[in-house]
Structure 1
Amino acid sequence: MALNLDTIRATAERVAASHGLDVVEVEFQGAGKFRALRVFVEKNAAERAKLAESADSETLPKGVPVEALSGVTHEDCATFAQDFGTVLDVEDLIPGAEYTLEVSSPGLDRKLVKPEDFTRFMGSLVKLRTFTPVNNNRQWQGRMTRFSDGLLTIDLTATKQKGKGKKKLTEQTVDIALANIERANLVAEI
């Protein structure tokens, strides 16, 4: 039986929904007895809204917007891991005897994968790499200012640029197609 990450993700989403959580990302790495299934979870939209309503300035980290917080506690991760691990074993979704299940929050420098991620974190700093160069550069960092019709606009004046094209940089913004983004992460602003 081969590992089917899509089936594992769907199962994780089903279990997470019963706990008021959303699955952000699922990764499977390693070989032999060093295999690890990593699942990153956060509170779902309804639970994050409750967190925002009940939060006060003293309970939140300074300089971190409420929307950037996943709201996940150690207890959330432990409970999800126990239930999800049981389902993985009962349904035999991971072939072989040994693997480690790791469950955590996506963190402040979380990956942005889905179009909804880019919309949700509009106005945040982002660091990204493209599959093919845009204006002779594959590495970009800036503030997301617009996301529409699969096209992301970032303000380059928000940060110092790195990469080949940094000395030739004359534009203030750059448009990058979502399909051309190889990897994107939030940049923590603390």
Structure 2
Amino acid sequence: MSTTQNERLRGLLEPLVHAKDLDLEEIEVSRAGRRGLLRVIVDSDEGVELDACAELSRVISEKLDETDVMGEGEYVLEVSSPGADRPLTEHRHYVRATGRLVKLRLKEGGDLVTRVLAVDDDGLDTEVPGVKGRKATARRVEFADIDKARVEIEFNRKDKKEEEA
């Protein structure tokens, strides 16, 4: 996708996404055979419901029909939330991961699996789970020390709603 098309799409879609109290995380345009594929990834602090994606898809489709930003050919529009394995790249991603287990690749080398307890402007306060009966340990990780980060999927993790009950 050309930068010009990306900029035009972002300028067109961002106000529509923000009007639904969502963040525009990613726009991806690719080819799927003879058709184009426009994938729009949105998120919020509370997550994204399927109904919100469907409504936003309708609004975006109407807006795209009014413009030529996708060209003359056929295309498929997908509006979805980020997957569970999406990289953490923005400050807001780390804030949304508070309470979650994350895998950090550190610039000094090595990986760290830790639970995010708090996020500030400079980094993360985390808790490294104990191994073989040992207690968890607190660890501070500065953003400047993180090369890559991703949420770890926990199948036995309690939902926040369960914990509040």
> With structure 1 as the length reference, what TM-score do the two structures score?
0.58
Alpha-carbon distance in 2 for matches of 1:81, 1:11: 13
Give the aligned residue type for 1:72.
E
Alpha-carbon distance in 2 for matches of 1:108, 1:174: 24
Q: Show CA shifts across 1:123-175 (max 9, x none).
A: 22123445xx32x21x3321113433332343332689xxxxxxxxxx86352
In the TM superposition, 1:103-142 aligns within 5 A as: 103-129=79-105, 133-134=107-108, 136-137=109-110, 139-142=111-114
| Aligned residue among 124, 139, 145 for 2:117 | 145
**CA pair 101-177 structure 1, distance change in 2 beyond 3 A:** same
**CA pair 102-122 structure 1, distance change in 2 beyond 3 A:** same
Alpha-carbon distance in 1 for matches of 2:11, 2:142: 29
In the TM superposition, 1:26-37 aligns within 5 A as: 26-31=26-31, 33=34, 35-37=36-38
Give the aligned residue type for 2:67.
E
Q: Which residue is equivalent to 2:22?
A: 22
Q: Which residue is equivalent to 1:86?
A: 62
**CA pair 82-159 structure 1, distance change in 2 beyond 3 A:** farther
Give the aligned residue type for 2:26.
V
**CA pair 154-6 structure 1, distance change in 2 beyond 3 A:** farther
Q: 8 Å contact 1:126–1:185 — kept in the other structure?
A: yes
Equivalences, count: 150
- Report sequence identity in percent: 25
**CA pair 84-186 structure 1, distance change in 2 beyond 3 A:** farther
Alpha-carbon distance in 2 for matches of 1:158, 1:8: 46
Q: Which residue is equivalent to 1:54?
A: none
Q: Which residue is equivalent to 2:74?
A: 98
> With structure 2 as the length reference, what TM-score do the two structures score?
0.65
1:72 and 2:49 correspond: yes
Q: 8 Å contact 1:129–1:183 — kept in the other structure?
A: yes
Which structure is higher in RCO with an 8 Å CA cutoff and minimum separation 6? 1
Alpha-carbon distance in 1 for matches of 2:149, 2:74: 30
Give the aligned residue type for 1:150.
D
Secondary structure, in 3 states, of the residue corresponding to 2:41?
Answer: strand
